[in-house]
Amino acid sequence: MSKVLVTGGAGYIGSHACKALKSAGYVPVTFDNLETGWEDAVKFGPFEKGDLLDRDRLDAVFAQYAPVAVMHFAALSQVGESMSNPGRYWRNNVTGSLTLIEAAVAAGCLDFVFSSTCATYGEQDNVVLDEDSAQHPINAYGASKRAIEEILRDFETAHGLRHVIFRYFNVAGADPDGEVGEFHRPETHLVPLLLDAIDGKRDALTIFGTDYPTPDGTCIRDYVHVCDLVDAHVLGLKWLEDGKGSRVFNLGTGSGFSVREVMQQSRSVTNREVPYSEGPRRAGDCTKLVSGSRRAIAELGWSPDRSTLDTMIRDAWRWHQTGHYEK
């Protein structure tokens, strides 16, 4: 069975990708330093602990497993922290990715699937972003991801490194079988924050801004189910295996939900009230950000079937009740 090196495979999205890869007939090899990931989430293939900045460790893993491709999720991803400590993000995300890419090329592993972000587009309010939208990141997180995209293009020119880049916004939901799910420390994502508040694990959810020009005054974001997201990554891997060229794909639903809509659906799913408070807008928060995915649907045959608000919250709530990695 072909092996795929999955960096960040102990994290939220990476662990779901490992399950999807196993289901598709691959052996996912997780490479993770466990700074933000959880060893309990590594259930679908071998685990190799290591840091992307450690070239010798990477070379050893490539030599041991001879993967046919890399699926690269490992990154620091907190926007606020990236603004206050940009050096950490450039060092970890960019230098770490460059080290990984050089190791992959040296090992002759020339198929590369990269987890990027719509944060590379920056502030483009109230439009549906597509792959040709201008990239103007406003923080070190988005800028670091854009830089990695540029590195991949340069390495294709110089070394024939084929790549698929996925840009997406808000990922939600969990494995419907309850084997893996979403858990961060600290938690920054809306759905798990909501569920924590409902479950009494935090005092209340804070709504940042209630005066946006939207139907209910709260900002709107595009949400995609994590299982749909990783299905696209497997399709991207097959795209490269079929000899198709390097490509960028956005992943989203193209519509989006407001904070209050997510809250209301959480009430419906859990039959519990959401304790919340209202606060001022945060700097840099746009009114509406949604990501068009016509290219992924048309060219990859991607179908985001689970990316309904009800399904995402139901799957997340089922996972939330397991106690996940807190033990």
Catalytic residue set: 141
The Cβ of residue 164 has, within 10 Å, a number of other Cβ atoms equal to: 26
What's the token pair of residue 131?
Answer: 């792959």
The angle that helices 55-65 and 96-106 make with each other, rounded to 10 degrees, is: 40
State the Cα–Cα distance between residues 171 and 2, nearest whole angstrom: 28
Residue entry with tokens 């900045």: 53
Residues 6+ apart with CB under 8 A from 323: none
The Cβ of residue 271 has, within 10 Å, a number of other Cβ atoms equal to: 7
Distances (CA, A) of 309 to 20, 209, 223, 232: 21, 21, 8, 19
Phi, psi values for residue 44, rounded to 5°: -120, 5
Give kind and range of the element (H or E) at residue 3: strand 3-7
The per-residue b/e assignment along 188-216, b for 16 or more CB within 10 angstroms, e otherwise, is eebbbbbbbbbeeebeebebebbebebee
3-state secondary structure of 97: helix
State the Cα–Cα distance between residues 304 and 20, nearest whole angstrom: 14
- Exposed/middle/buried for 154, CB within 10 Å: 0-12, 13-18, 19+? exposed
